[in-house]
A and B are shown apart, each in its own frame.
Chain A
């Protein structure tokens, strides 16, 4: 009988004597298990694409100019004019726009046998400061005033100054559609919400999120780096330090809402209340810092992201070879000089990674902010040209909370649904890009280390 020998990559050679020269079986349950594992990976990755697909699909009407339809339900004798908001098998939800005496702009059109749909090119959509979206046909009045014949055949006089824009959605060619698409995207990004968030954009929420995160960065970076340097460079490597380190790492696993409760109790009511007593006593009992606000939100999130920065920075510190430090000491450098001139610059990429991960975590976090400073609508931005420019005591809007509030707390949910998804898409992309950036930074510097060390 022939002997069979296998040599492993580690140099172990095994010699075996196959009992019979059986063929390898065509299919084993192994293969199924392997494919099931592969399937799990695909499901996990697919979930992300699925999420994006849902967000994009539902956010589409916020940006892309959808046609305005005119439905005639012959059986029931009903007529509707408007843009589709959502579809299901039995019916479509449409936005009818402003109509005199109608409180709900959303209507449900049942798909039935006798339903006739048409898209007349002369239908106009007008975005109006007071009325929001209005659908109709321009009346051919000789005087040239802007009067619109609405779906219920009433005549609506519109002041030209109050019209944001108007266009004929059914008569757009490709380039005009793209023009409106871009206009919509820009207005979404750079305009405040109008008409109870059915129009306009999410600009204040973007600004609020960015300002809060930047403020948080100011707190968390020095503290996080200091903490990491202390734990790794100065604290004696004993049982206590190990315990503390595990404690700090585990703080990353504490539910974020607990940080919110802590922030509300200690920062807002405790610290804020004291500040009010000392410096703003003339305004009491109306609280200045003793209520949720920008500063407290930033501090709370700084505490929340502290473990992220500490972990990342310590990882970077640990990666620096002892030989480098020893070389530095051998040249007569003190510990401080070694740290400042050698170790910290080399740790910079790790700190960057920690910073980006902290920002990504903070940008997506909503639960603690609900307790310490966000509001559904804040007309004033937390930064302004007015002294003191950065308003630390002010409440602010936040993308994540905007999603929760519009989608789950407000009354006219259907009218703002596309906007909720659009906001979610924006937040999702921001966090995704930040994370990808963090991975890229880490990979790039890891490679550079390997080359240089």
Chain B
């Protein structure tokens, strides 16, 4: 009976044992999975920025011009090709100037009209009639049952048969229209669009001396570019008193197509037998000129250059080779778009690339990102810039300029902050560690060490507050006092040591017991007071104009109030406990025999420390510095609050920087998920993760190897 009972109990106990085992193991594995998921998640969220695809959607029937004349526009809903010629005539439902709604038929003979579409605003159309009428339509809807409809916003009558060469919508709703006859170009500018009907004003009228094959308005209506096929150009200023500039695009001949970039400061030129040139408007000594900033050569002879959505330029070859350029900054070949070869390629009003083959059309479904590893880390020529540069500007300054994602300035900003902070933190932490490990009495050591270690828990937001609101303004006024203190402090300690050695207390002592610390404190306070007393005099002698102008005039250095110097000291304080803890552990683990051996051989305490203990613990100190580095690179609040957060790329101590982590803190709350910006921020987070994890792992490996070796000694 009792045996049976015991058996029951045993079974139950064993069951509990097994149950606990299962639950602990599954729980533990769950924890590990949760932790591993951080890494996997960041990778997963980063991948979309590198994903490229191009595929052909199901072809659909499209209503096309019956005489096979080339289409000028396509609408997808309803699917319809629009051409100016043949049986299909274009209608405009216009709200004319007296607010009546009438339909205007553009006659069936297309030679009666010329039509210009704006590349910057696809709802804007300018139309000229043979009879001299020039009309401007806004909010044109290409998808209406009639070929298209829009609102007539302005009308103008000329005394010749005009042909529209360029239509450009500038800032403040000002629209520029360039029309031509056989001998002259007429550049009109409207008043702001808001005041309907808009009035046209003749800006310039110039004679066409070379052939004006391509006309573009640049720089928000300040310049008109007239370019011919062989690359000769003229820049005509809106200001009639200013002289024209002329020049030649050296490498471009036989220009076949030009597309103005949305920024209005550059164009992409398709020339020769497949060269693509990215040309920017730049000023040299106040005079504008066109400069080629980038060029590619394609392996095939492209027949078409089109501007699609997201500032993509599509370059299309005869056999459906497709390449994509992002605003002229990089190129990427896409996988072949299928077997179907299109007669025409068009861009729909939504910016989709559509191939047309007789009555059949097919849209290209593309996932193209505007970044690649090369552009994220390398320099790029951006719209409106003449040189390649590393820029981080995730939200464009003006709507027309593309966001610029170069991580390099952020990366260097993080390194700048961390390295300057380490310059302060490492000497402080390592000498403090050496002192506590080998020169301090054991009783004092066990008290001081935990206190120093617990500094790691100081809220960094508090340190950042002090740095940004107190230290930065203070330093600007007391810079010299601070620098003088930096020199006087060590000096005062040397003096204190002399006094101590000479006093009865220090005679024959080799270690400090605690009371000497008081002496050091007194001397340090005295040196601070001295610095404070001396600084004003030195300051008025050395820099009577003030620190900022002294640095600017004497050294050519810029001074920002929140700068790397501030970060170095405040972040340095935050890094001290990290470096100290590990360095102290390593130094303290050096076996006592090594030190005693050295002392017995006649070395002094410091000689023993320098030539025996420090080399023995060197790997530990290295790992301490590495961990400090990882902490410094990842620190967010201090750099966020103590710098101006401008993504600069310089090593100047007196300017700020923008770090990876601060960028995450500032931009992540604003960005909407599943955008390219979001994924790039995820990529930044992944870099921080990998960098710190790798550094910490290596440091930990070095440290544990060292400690094992020490134990075996």
Chain A interface residues toward B at CB < 8 A: 6, 8-10, 12, 14, 16, 24, 26-48, 51, 54-55, 58, 88-89, 222-224, 226-227, 229-231, 233-235, 244, 246-251, 253-262, 264-266, 269, 292, 303, 306, 310, 334-337, 339-340, 357, 360-361, 363-367, 370-371, 400-401, 403-404, 407-408, 417, 420-421, 424, 427-428, 431, 434-436, 438-439, 443
Query: Mostly helix, strand, loop or mixed at chain B's interface?
Result: helix
Closest A-B pairs by Cβ, 6 of them: A230-B28, A255-B634, A37-B435, A364-B459, A30-B606, A226-B27
A404–B635 CA distance with the chains assembled, in angstroms? 15
Nearest B residue to A339, CB-CB: B20
Given known pairs A257-B636, A259-B38, the reply for A230 and B24 (CB within 8 Å) is yes
Interface residues of B in 572-626 (CB under 8 A from A): 573, 576, 580, 592-593, 596, 600, 602, 604-607, 609
Structural contact, B432 and A40, CB atoms closer than 8 A: yes
Residue of B nearest to A424 (CB): B462
A261 x B500 contact (CB < 8 A): no
Chain B contacts for A47, CB-based, 8 A? 455, 573
Q: Which among A264, A310, A427 is the interface contact of B668 at CB below 8 angstroms?
A: A264
| One of B219-227, B646-654, B686-694 contacting the partner | B686-694
Stretch from B249-257, B305-313, B491-499 that touches the partner: B491-499
Q: Are A424 and B465 in contact (CB under 8 A)?
A: yes
B692→A227 contact, CB < 8 A: no
Q: Are B669 and A233 in contact (CB under 8 A)?
A: no
Q: A371 with B669: in contact, given A28-B606, A249-B700, A254-B692 (CB under 8 Å)?
A: yes
Residues of A within 8 A of B459 (CB): 363-366, 400, 424, 427-428, 431
CB within 8 Å of A: which residues of B?
A: 13-14, 16-17, 19-21, 24-25, 27-32, 34-35, 37-38, 41-42, 45, 427-429, 431-432, 434-436, 439-440, 448, 450-452, 454-455, 457-466, 468-470, 477, 489-490, 493-494, 496-498, 500-502, 506, 508, 512, 516-517, 520-521, 524, 573, 576, 580, 592-593, 596, 600, 602, 604-607, 609, 627, 630-631, 633-637, 640-641, 661, 664-665, 668-669, 673, 681-682, 685, 688-689, 692-693, 696-697, 700-701
A357, B494: Cβ atoms closer than 8 Å: no
CB <8 Å contact, B498 and A227: no
User: Which residue on A lies nearest to B633, using beta carbons?
Assistant: A255
Residues in A neighbouring B490, C-beta threshold 8 A: 36, 39
Q: Contact at A364–B461, with CB atoms within 8 Å?
A: yes
Q: Is the CB of B697 within 8 A of A250?
A: yes
| Least CB distance, A145 to chain B, in whole angstroms | 41
- Chain A residue nearest to B414 (CB atoms) is A255
Q: Which of B27, B500, B596, B701 contacts A227 (CB 8 A)?
A: B27
22 CB < 8 A contacts A-B: A10-B592, A27-B502, A34-B439, A36-B431, A37-B435, A38-B493, A39-B520, A41-B432, A45-B452, A55-B466, A222-B27, A230-B29, A234-B25, A235-B28, A250-B697, A253-B630, A254-B689, A255-B633, A260-B668, A265-B42, A337-B13, A364-B460
A-side contacts of B428, CB under 8 Å: 40, 43-44
Q: How far is the CA of A421 from the CA of B604 in the complex (A)?
A: 48
| Closest beta carbon of chain B to A99's beta carbon, Å | 26
Shortest beta-carbon distance from A9 to chain B in Å: 8
Which has the most chain A C-beta neighbours within 10 Å: B427, B489, B606? B606
Q: Given A41-B436, A420-B469, A435-B454, are A261 and B636 neighbors across the interface (CB < 8 Å)? A: no
Selected from B28, B450, B665, the residue in CB contact (under 8 A) with A439 is B450
Chain B residues with Cβ under 8 A from A292's Cβ?
669
Question: Which one of A89, A401, A435 has the highest number of Cβ atoms from chain B below 10 Å of its Cβ?
Answer: A435
Bound: A272/B92 CA distance, A: 49
- Tell me which residues across on chain B come within 8 A of A222, comparing CB atoms: 27
Q: Which residues of A contact B432 (CB under 8 A)?
A: 37, 40-41, 44
Q: With A227-B28, A364-B460 as known contacts, state yes or no: A30 contacts B604, CB within 8 Å.
A: yes
Taking CB atoms, residues of chain A closer than 8 Å to B35 are 247-248, 251, 303, 306
Smallest CB gap from A264: residue in B: B668
Of the candidates A43, A244, A253, A256, which one forms a contact with B627 in the assembled complex, judged by CB atoms under 8 Å apart?
A253
Complex CA distance for A12 and B14, rounded to whole angstroms: 55
Across the interface, A262 reaches (CB within 8 A) one of B431, B435, B502, B685, namely B685
Additional 9 contacts, C-beta under 8 A, given A40-B431, A47-B573: A10-B593, A32-B498, A36-B493, A248-B32, A251-B693, A255-B692, A257-B688, A261-B664, A364-B457
Q: Determine if A88 and B477 form an interchain contact, defined as CB atoms under 8 angstroms apart.
A: yes
**Other-chain contact of A33, B469, B606, B669, B688 (Cβ < 8 Å):** B606
Our pick among A39, A254, A371, A404 for the contact of B464 (Cβ within 8 Å) is A404
The chain B residue with its CB closest to the CB of A89 is B477
Question: Is A258 a contact partner of B24 (Cβ separation < 8 A)?
Answer: no
Q: Is the CB of B641 within 8 A of A246?
A: no
Complex CA distance for A363 and B462, rounded to whole angstroms? 12
**Residue among B13, B42, B459, B664 with max Cβ neighbours from chain A (10 Å):** B459
Q: For the complex, what is the distance from the CA of A364 to the CA of B637, rounded to whole Å?
A: 11
Among the interface residues B461, B682, B692, which one has the most CB atoms of the partner chain A within 10 A? B461
A405 CB, min distance to chain B CBs, angstroms: 10
